[in-house]
Amino acid sequence: MATMRALVVTRHGGSEVLAVEEREVPDPGPGEALVEVAAGGVNFIDVYQREGIYPTEPPYVQGVEAAGTVRAVGEGAVVAVGDRVALSLTAGLHAELVIADSTRLLPVPDDVDLETACAATLQGMTAHALVTDCVRVEEGTVALVHAAAGGVGQLLTQMITSRGGTVIATAGSQAKLEIARSRGAAELIDYSRSDDLAADIAAAADRVGASRGVDVVYDGVGRATFDASLASLRPRGTLVLFGGASGQVPPFDLQRLNSGGSLFVTRPTLAHYIQDRDELLMRGREVFADISAGRLDIAIHHRYPFAEAAAAYDALEGRETTGKLLLVP
């Protein structure tokens, strides 16, 4: 019986519950493919699942993002042995070999390496959905991007500015803000030094001609920035709350949306924006095309072996990163 190594969540809890275990190599069934993983992505959704915020039943193989090469296929698969593919929002991807529904595999162009493809898949398609569907960013849009030096933050900043928008960026250090500036941010706010984040955002918005407030806030930080995010919006502006790096936002009075100017709040998840293969391929192809054309630069912060996965998640949860973290089998 052939075996492989996999990263397993042994029980709900912190990063200490992660363990590398030997598992049997599975065989692909009809319509499935066996993929040899070159890299797996480190994401907050892994943390939410591991902590039980999102329903899971340990023990399980973690990971919802990876890229690699097809090594075997079942009858009726839509990919072939040797194809380079990326996949996301499929459970159990942090393993040396994984089984996936072949219709959920995204072809990787020859000029995009597999580590870059992995780093761009979940976060890249997330950012793409946020600027095209949650709010359609266009020429003149003024956007506030929290944690703008993080993986999604850097992608959002690049996508917004390439569409003619203006970005006000927040981050937790001057070094991180310089990264946001290099991605095109027009205004920079260090929220670790801010005594009144909402006032600092309002001043920055005024400097870029948005005295009534920003059009959209992209907030992956959550609890620590939510109030300032709402306060920063213009009337009928939209808060896109796509994560909770500082903790989940507690229940709030919907009347705040009325008093704030008939505001909108959405809590998107990528799964609802890649529900069928056509939409998956559209988003993936557009992200990869931007990479190939040099319009989108993917920053990989660090690579960790499976045995050091706990350190990777500690860095992510401690907001110590600038760019993408990868796990390499």
Residues composing the chain: 329
Task: Specify if 248 maps to a domain.
Answer: yes
Under a CB-based contact definition with an 8 Å cutoff, are residues 303 and 14 in contact? no
Domain boundary, last residue among 230, 252, 267: 267
Range scoring the smallest mean pLDDT among 182-186, 243-247, 299-303: 243-247
Task: Specify if 112 maps to a domain.
Answer: yes
> For the chain, how many structural domains are there in total?
2
- The angle formed by the CA atoms of residues 90, 265 and 180, to the nearest 5 degrees, is 70
144 with 263, same domain: the answer is: yes
- What is the domain extent for residue 178? 139-267
Predicted confidence at residue 151, as pLDDT, reads 86
255 with 163, same domain: the answer is: yes
258 with 282, same domain: the answer is: no
Closest to 218 in 3D by CA, of 278, 131, 141, 132: 131
Task: Specify if 132 maps to a domain.
Answer: no
93 with 60, same domain: the answer is: yes
d(CA 283, CA 43): 19
The fraction of the chain above a pLDDT of 70, given in percent, is: 100
Predicted confidence at residue 129, as pLDDT, reads 98
Q: Which residue has the higher pLDDT, 44 or 288?
A: 288
Task: Specify if 284 maps to a domain.
Answer: yes
Task: Specify if 131 maps to a domain.
Answer: no
Helix/strand/coil for 107:
strand
Asked whether the predicted pLDDT for residue 329 surpasses 80, the reply is yes
Domain boundary, last residue among 267, 292, 307: 267
10 with 105, same domain: the answer is: yes
Task: Specify if 256 maps to a domain.
Answer: yes
Strand partners, 327: 40, 304
Domain boundary, last residue among 267, 286, 318: 267
90 with 145, same domain: the answer is: no
143 with 262, same domain: the answer is: yes
Cβ neighbourhood burial of 186 (10 Å; 0-12, 13-18, 19+) = middle
27 with 110, same domain: the answer is: yes
Mean pLDDT in residue range 237-263: 93
CATH code, 314: 3.90.180.10
Predicted confidence at residue 323, as pLDDT, reads 78
Task: Specify if 129 maps to a domain.
Answer: no
d(CA 213, CA 160): 17
Q: What is the mean pLDDT of the chain?
A: 95
CATH code, 205: 3.40.50.720
Could you tell me the pTM of the whole model?
0.90
What is the pLDDT confidence band of residue 321, given thresholds at 50, 70 and 90?
confident
Task: Specify if 128 maps to a domain.
Answer: no
57 with 173, same domain: the answer is: no
**Which residue carries 């003149």 as its tokens?**
140
89 with 151, same domain: the answer is: no
Mean pLDDT in residue range 250-256: 94
283 with 262, same domain: the answer is: no
d(CA 244, CA 48): 9
Write the pLDDT tens digit of every residue in 99-142.
999 999 999 999 999 999 999 999 999 999 999 999 999 999 99
21 with 42, same domain: the answer is: yes
Mean pLDDT in residue range 10-28: 96
